[in-house]
């Protein structure tokens, strides 16, 4: 049953999400080719716009897919534990697949290459940690995949939530929680920061910089990966708790 569930979920994932991705990429590349070989200059759908469209469509598809497959597989007898792990692992594999497709696609166009260079510059401070340029490229790819995964996980959570509640409520709940959480963390850190001694302030700053690997001695590459993975684990934990307590009913809307 688990094997068939995998096949079922990935077949839909390919047919309904990867095809959109490849379609957007093909469209963008065709426009890019026309712009290069003809005097016409179409700036309708460059690599940047294609990348944004791919992420948005993939994210929305993931919400629908999670909702429909969670209900279908659970009602076909798959356990909640297997249902969650199958879909959780799929979001991770999707992020790797999407990261690879996107990296390849961006390399092919001038606008895309500029995007990659901008990303490289943004994380350029970490470059000195790596002896070979391919190692740094691998690091950039890893960070890109984790960022894509982090953007997919809230979609996965919303998909799980809308199996038992209204869409708007699920969106509001997930976004509201994220915004409230960010406000709470920022306010409490700021509140503490402005009320403590200069030494404690320096410690707080050092801790915050430490989360992204910065220290006066130089930048370290792995703390950023660990910090992002901790976020991913928190989101995964939330999705696991939702899936474990999922009482499936089809929303009346």
Residue 12 in the binding site for another protein (CB under 8 A) = yes
Residue 187 in the binding site for another protein (CB under 8 A) = no
C-alpha 225/C-alpha 126 separation (Å) is: 12
Interface with another protein by CB under 8 A: which range of 71-79, 169-177, 212-220, 233-241?
Answer: 71-79
Three-state DSSP class for 215?
A: strand
Q: Tokens 């712009």, residue?
A: 35
C-alpha 125/C-alpha 143 separation (Å) is: 14
C-alpha 152/C-alpha 139 separation (Å) is: 20
Residue 243 in the binding site for another protein (CB under 8 A) = no
Interface with another protein by CB under 8 A: which range of 78-86, 113-121, 178-186, 226-234?
Answer: 78-86
Number of residues that bind another protein (CB under 8 A): 26
Residue 1 in the binding site for another protein (CB under 8 A) = yes
Three-state DSSP class for 198?
A: helix
Nearer to another protein, 38 or 245 (CB): 245
Binder among 165, 178, 241, 249 for another protein (CB under 8 A) = 249
From residue 22, alpha-carbon distances to 19, 44, 60, 115, 134 in Å are 5, 17, 16, 19, 26
Residues that bind another protein (CB under 8 A): 1-2, 4-5, 7-8, 12, 68-69, 71-82, 245, 247-250
């Amino acid at each position: 049953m688990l094997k068939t569930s995998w096949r079922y979920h990935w077949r839909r994932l390919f047919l309904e999400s990867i095809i959109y991705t490849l379609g957007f990429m093909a469209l963008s590349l065709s426009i890019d080719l026309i712009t290069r070989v003809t005097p016409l200059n179409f700036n309708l759908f460059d690599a940047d716009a294609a990348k944004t469209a791919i992420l948005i469509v993939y994210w929305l598809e993931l919400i629908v897919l999670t909702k429909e497959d969670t209900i279908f597989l659970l009602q076909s007898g798959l356990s909640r534990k297997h249902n969650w792990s199958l879909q959780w692992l799929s979001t991770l594999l999707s992020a790797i697949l999407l990261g690879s497709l996107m990296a390849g696609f961006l390399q092919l166009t001038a606008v895309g290459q500029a995007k990659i260079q901008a990303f490289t510059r943004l994380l350029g401070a970490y470059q000195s940690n790596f002896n070979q340029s391919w190692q740094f490229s691998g690091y950039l790819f890893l960070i890109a995949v984790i960022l894509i995964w982090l953007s997919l996980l809230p979609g996965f959570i919303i998909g799980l939530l809308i199996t038992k509640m209204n869409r708007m409520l699920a969106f509001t709940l997930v976004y509201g929680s994220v915004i409230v959480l960010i406000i709470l963390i920022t306010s409490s850190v700021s509140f503490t920061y402005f009320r403590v001694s200069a030494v404690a302030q320096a410690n707080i700053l050092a801790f915050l910089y430490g989360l992204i690997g910065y220290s006066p001695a130089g930048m370290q590459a792995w703390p950023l990966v660990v910090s992002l993975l901790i976020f991913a684990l928190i989101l995964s934990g939330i999705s696991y708790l939702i899936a474990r307590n999922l009482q499936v009913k089809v929303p009346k809307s």
